[in-house]
Amino acid sequence: MRILFAGTPRVAVPSLQALSDAGFEIAAVLTRVDAPLGRKKVLTPSPVAGRAEELGLPVIKANRFDDTVIAELDALALDAAAIVAYGGLVPKRALTIPLHGWINLHFSLLPAWRGAAPVQHAVLNGDDITGASTFRLEEGLDTGPVFGSMTETLRPADTSGEVLDRLSVSGAVLLMQTLSAIDAGGVEAQPQQGGITLAPKITIADARIDWNQPAVAVRRRINAVTPEPGAWTIAGGQRIKLGPVTPVEATDQSRQAVSPGRVLVQGNDVVVGTGTVPVLLRGVQPAGKKMMDAPAWARGASAHGGLVFE
C-alpha cells in the first residue's frame, strides 16, 4: 500500500515509525513548516519532519493545502493517507485524492471528545476510560465512520502528557492494523454511535487554577493542562506555574483547616487550601525559572508566613 503520512508533533512520531517498520510504502510525509522554538526563536523542524528525514523519506512542509500542495499530493498516486495530529484541516478537494481516503488516528473513543484536545478534556472530566480511534476523515469535525478503537485506563494521577505518550504508542499499532486491514479489503468503517462530546483547544486562561474548587477538581485541571499549556496561579503579584498535586487524605485532621488558596509549610510538605481538603504541592515554576521542588520554593517565597494563591 502506497501512503502519505501527515503529522507534526512528537505524539505522531510512533505512528510514522510503526508504518515504516511494517513495510508500508510511504510516498511522502506532510508536516507543518519549521517553527521558532526557545528563547532565541530558532526555526526548528517538527518532530515528525525530523524522524522522516532520519528515515530518508520525502518531506512536504505546509500549513495549508494550497494549489501547490494539492498538485504534489495528486502526483503521488496514493492508496491512502494516514493522519495523526497534523494540525490543520484537510479541505474537501484533498479528501478524494487517496484511493481509500484519509485515515485519522484520534486520541479518544469517538464520538466522545471530538476536537483538538481530546485527552485534556478526558482528564479534566475525570473519565475512567479513554482510548484511540481510527476513522475516515470527512468534512465534519471528527465525524467520519470508525474503523477500529482501543481503550486505555485513566488513573487519578495521570497527566495529559503521560496519557498521550501511552496512546501514541498503542494508537500507532491500531493505525497500522487499520491500514493493513484496508489494504486486505477486510474492514468496513461504521458510523459513530453514542453520545457526542466536544474537546476544543485548552487556552492559557483555562489553565488558571480556581482554589475555591474541590481538591479533586483542582487536581484534574492541573493534570489536564500538564505539560501544555501548564497550570498557573498568582502568588505575590507574580504568575507561577504549578506541577501536579495530591489531595490530602480526609482522615488527616492535622491538615484540614486551610482556607482556599492559602499556602502553608507543614513539616517537609507544602499544602494549599481548596474548596474541600488541601492538596500537597510538589512542584513550582516561578517566572523565568525552571520547575523546582515546592519546599525549596516555599522557603524562598516565605510561605511559612501564609502566602495566598490568587
pLDDT digits (tens, 9 = 90+) for 43-78: 999 999 999 999 999 999 999 999 999 999 999 999
The per-residue b/e assignment along 98-114, b for 16 or more CB within 10 angstroms, e otherwise, is beebbbbbbbbbbbbbb
CB atoms near residue 234 (< 10 Å): 14
The per-residue b/e assignment along 172-209, b for 16 or more CB within 10 angstroms, e otherwise, is bebbbbbbbebbeeebebeebeeeebebeebeeebbeb
Q: Which residue has 483547544 as its cell numbers?
A: 201
pTM of the complete model beyond 0.85: yes
pLDDT band at 267 (very low <50, low <70, confident <90, very high): confident
Lowest mean pLDDT among 68-72, 84-88, 112-116, 284-288: 284-288
Query: Could you tell me if residue 236 is left (phi over 0), alpha (psi between -120 and 50 degrees) or otherwise beta?
Result: left
Amino acid in the structure at residue 68: T
pLDDT of 191: 98
Beta bridge partners of 293: 283
pLDDT of 155: 96
Q: Is the peptide bond before 47 cis (omega within 30 degrees of 0)?
A: no
Q: Domain 205-305 classified CATH 3.10.25.10?
A: yes
- Nearest Cα residue to 131 out of 117, 118, 145: 118
Domain with CATH 3.10.25.10 in the chain: 205-305
Q: 2-184 maps to which CATH number?
A: 3.40.50.170
- Nearest Cα residue to 37 out of 79, 17, 16, 9: 9
pLDDT of 297: 87
80 touches 96 (CB < 8 A)? no
Q: pLDDT, tens digit, for every residue of 190-219?
A: 999 999 999 999 999 999 999 999 999 999
CB atoms near residue 217 (< 10 Å): 17
Domain with CATH 3.40.50.170 in the chain: 2-184
174 touches 147 (CB < 8 A)? no
CA angle, residues 188, 194, 196, in degrees to nearest 5: 110
CA–CA dist 29, 50 (Å, integer): 11
pLDDT of 306: 66
pLDDT of 266: 82
CA–CA dist 184, 187 (Å, integer): 8
Q: At what angle do helices 47-54 and 13-21 cross, to 10 degrees?
A: 20
CA–CA dist 307, 309 (Å, integer): 7
Q: How far is CA 82 from CA 31, 132, 136, in A?
A: 12, 14, 10
